[in-house]
Homo-oligomer: A and B are copies of this chain.
Amino acid sequence: MQFRQELQSLSRDFHLPFKLFTFYFPLFTFYLVHMTKLGILLSGRGSNFEAIADNIAAGRLDATIAAVISNRAEAPGIESARRRGLHALIIPSKGRTREEHDRAMAGALHEAQVDWVVLAGYMRLLSPWFIQQFPNRILNIHPSLLPAFPGLEVQKQAIEFGAKVSGCTVHFVDEHLDHGPIIVQRAVPILETDDEHTLAERILEQEHQAYTEALRIVIGGRFEIAGRRVVIRQL
């Protein structure tokens, strides 16, 4: 009894990323700890996926990666997932309608019992149907301070606009492109000497930290969504 109460109060006080289920039997009490499961979608290198996997391995994020799905067979991120011994799947988008493809992906994610869907350079629009399967449970990262510079060629847009500050945004995915409620933003200065590649690199460094920061917030349940605002309870 006391052990259970202590665990629960620990979980509540420190917003630990597990839920505690307790089963009572006549003679024994079983404790089942639920570790949060992430499902990663990617289309390319998936450097944000690698940063998340590294942070989990280093104990900086309490979660497991239950599935890594690519829509492209040649995505280097899949090779990296396999090297890490993760459940890596190729579900080709080519030759399928968006909804067929999204149904196949949702099936695989549900089968892997993922709690959160993490987009890490997944270069395809998700159907409204898919998004409704995981309401406020899909996260994306975008290499600008939204609402500035949505869409593609983001760093090129920022440099051509002459912005002096850009950054990155981790947000919930809703039915509109680069639009859902924002969990974390980090600013990155644009230097005189920057081209789109050097800027992309410096923003990527911040992305790798920002994504784990955002995942820690949502996994710990330390937030409420009010309108478009994600109100975060500080630890």
Residues of A within 8 A of B (CB): 145-149, 159-165, 167, 169, 181-187, 192, 227-232, 234
Contacts and interface: CB of A to CB of B under 8 A. Distances in A.
A163 B145 contact: yes
Identical chains in the assembly: 2
A148 B181 CA distance: 16
Q: Is the interface of A mostly helix, strand, loop or mixed?
A: mixed
Contact of A230 (B146, B162, B187, B231): B162
Contacts of A169: 164
A145 B148 contact: yes
22 contacts: A145-B145, A145-B148, A145-B165, A146-B148, A146-B163, A147-B161, A159-B229, A160-B227, A160-B229, A161-B228, A162-B181, A162-B182, A162-B227, A162-B228, A163-B182, A164-B169, A164-B183, A164-B184, A165-B167, A165-B186, A167-B187, A187-B187
Nearest to A171: B162
A8 to B, nearest CB: 26
Nearest to A166: B145
Nearest to A230: B162
A154 to B, nearest CB: 13
A164 B185 contact: yes
A230 to B, nearest CB: 6
Contact of A192 (B163, B183, B234): B234
Contacts of A182: 161-164
Given A145-B163, A165-B186, A192-B234, 8 more contacts: A145-B165, A147-B149, A159-B229, A160-B229, A161-B228, A162-B182, A163-B185, A164-B182
